C-alpha cells in the first residue's frame, strides 16, 4: 500500500510531517507491505508554489500517484474533496518524524482527518435574514 505524508521540507523518513497539506514543499511516499516499510521516495508538491488551487493540485497529485492513505497536520476542504473522490483515506498527525507518523498509522494510532475551514467557516458578514420575534408585539393594549 502507498502512504503519502505531507513533508515539512525535503521529504524522507527523517523529515517532519507538515502541518499544512496543500502548500507543503514535498510528499514522502512510503510503500508498505503488512506493517513493514518496503520503499520510500519523495515527489515535489505542485501546489506549493501555485497562485491558487494549491489544495486541489496537491490532492490530485496524491491520487495520481496511487496513494491510498494521506497523513498531514491539517487538510483543507478542497483537498479533502479531491482526495475523497480519489478513494484516499486521510489522517492527521502531530509534527513528528515521517517514519514515526507512518508507524503510528500502521499501529492504528492516528485519528481520521477532519477537513479544516469547511462550509460555514468563511469570513463573511452573513446576509442578515433572521426573523425577529417581538416586532410590534405587546403594545400594552390590554382588554380588561
Pairing of strands 2-7, 69-72: parallel
Residues 7-56: pLDDT tens digits? 999 999 999 999 999 999 999 999 999 999 999 999 999 999 888 899 99
Distance separating alpha carbons of residues 125 and 122, to the nearest angstrom:
9
pLDDT for residue 102:
97
Question: Residue 46 — φ and ψ, nearest 5°?
Answer: -65, -20
Of residues 73 and 136, more confidently modeled: 73
Q: Does any domain span residue 71? A: yes
49 occurs within a structural domain: yes
Indicate whether this model's pTM tops 0.85: no
pLDDT for 97 equals 98
pLDDT of 123: 44
pLDDT at res. 120: 44
Domains contained in the chain, number: 1
CA distance linking residue 109 with residue 102, whole number of Å: 10
What SS3 class is residue 59?
helix
How distant, in Å, are the alpha carbons of 30, 115, 137, 143 from that of 68? 11, 17, 59, 72
In a domain, 82, yes or no: yes
Asked, for residue 56, whether it belongs to a domain, the answer is yes
Query: Residue 4: which pLDDT band, with cuts at 50, 70 and 90?
Result: very high
Q: What is the mean pLDDT of the segment spanning 96-105?
A: 97
7: domain CATH number?
3.30.420.130
Residue 29 belongs to a domain: yes
Q: Which three cell numbers stand for residue 136?
A: 410590534
Say if 79 falls within a structural domain.
yes
Residue 11: give the domain boundaries: 2-112
Amino acid at each position: 500500500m502507498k502512504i503519502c505524508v505531507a513533508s515539512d521540507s525535503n521529504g524522507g523518513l527523517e523529515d517532519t510531517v507538515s502541518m499544512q497539506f496543500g502548500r507543503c514543499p514535498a510528499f514522502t511516499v512510503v510503500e508498505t507491505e503488512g506493517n513493514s516499510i518496503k520503499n520510500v521516495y519523495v515527489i515535489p508538491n505542485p501546489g506549493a508554489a501555485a497562485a491558487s488551487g494549491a489544495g486541489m493540485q496537491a490532492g490530485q497529485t496524491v491520487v495520481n500517484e496511487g496513494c491510498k492513505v494521506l497523513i498531514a497536520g491539517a487538510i483543507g476542504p478542497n483537498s479533502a474533496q479531491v482526495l475523497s473522490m480519489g478513494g484516499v483515506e486521510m489522517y492527521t498527525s502531530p509534527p513528528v518524524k515521517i517514519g514515526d507518523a507512518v508507524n503510528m498509522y500502521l499501529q492504528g494510532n492516528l485519528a481520521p482527518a477532519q477537513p479544516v475551514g469547511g462550509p460555514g467557516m468563511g469570513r463573511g458578514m452573513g446576509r442578515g435574514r433572521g426573523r425577529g420575534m417581538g416586532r410590534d408585539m405587546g403594545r400594552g393594549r390590554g382588554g380588561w
